[in-house]
């Protein structure tokens, strides 16, 4: 009887350990697919360095149509699609998260946005428009980032 109880406890512990390992692996896999950044979140310096380097362009391609498709796509090459060249891309950081915006003929547009740890995006107006905004919600409340163009340069704007 004692041996049977011992085997039951050992079997239960082994099953719990295997289930825990499978659960941890599943959470890591799902987390990477949700965030879309298997390498992790980029630092401000990495974002600026990536924005400073020229983005590869494919003749005839018009770039991404939404951040879900590609948050790092470059502007279309002038003449390749018959569109006017885009303006400057600039990264903005807040306590709630960060965003990249660029100005073009249609106004300002959000290229990508990423909430900070503990925050989530509650609303994002991608544009292009006169101004765009993304709202992050987290432990300190709501943090809103609003951007508009001055010339072809995106700048942070005060809320109206």
pLDDT digit string, tens, across residues 60-99: 333 333 343 333 333 333 433 444 455 789 999 999 999 9
Instruction: Give residue 85's pLDDT.
Output: 55
Give the pLDDT band (50/70/90) at residue 141: very high
| Better-predicted residue by pLDDT, 142 or 27 | 142
User: Residue 113, class by beta-carbon neighbours within 10 Å (0-12 exposed, 13-18 middle, 19+ buried)?
Assistant: buried
> What does the alpha-carbon distance between residue 49 and residue 78 come to, in Å, rounded to a whole number?
22
Instruction: Give residue 74's pLDDT.
Output: 37
Average pLDDT over residues 2-21: 89
- Per residue, the 3-state secondary structure of 51-101, as one string, reads HHCCCCCCCCCCCCCCCCCCCCCCCCCCCCCCCCCCCCEEEEECCCEEEEE
């Amino acid at each position: 009887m004692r041996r049977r109880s011992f085997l039951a406890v050992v079997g239960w512990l082994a099953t719990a350990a295997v289930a825990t390992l499978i659960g941890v692996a599943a959470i890591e896999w799902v987390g990477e697919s949700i965030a879309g950044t298997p390498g992790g979140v980029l630092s401000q310096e990495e974002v600026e360095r990536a924005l400073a380097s020229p983005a590869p362009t494919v003749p005839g391609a018009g770039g991404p149509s939404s951040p879900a498709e590609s948050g790092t796509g470059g502007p279309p090459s002038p003449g390749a699609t018959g569109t006017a060249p885009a303006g400057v891309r600039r990264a903005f950081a807040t306590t709630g998260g960060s965003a990249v915006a660029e100005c073009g003929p249609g106004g300002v547009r959000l290229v990508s946005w990423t909430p900070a740890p503990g925050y989530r995006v509650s609303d994002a107006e991608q544009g292009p428009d006169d101004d765009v905004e993304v709202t992050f919600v987290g432990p300190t409340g709501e943090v809103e980032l609003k951007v508009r163009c001055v010339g072809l340069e995106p700048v942070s704007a005060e809320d109206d």
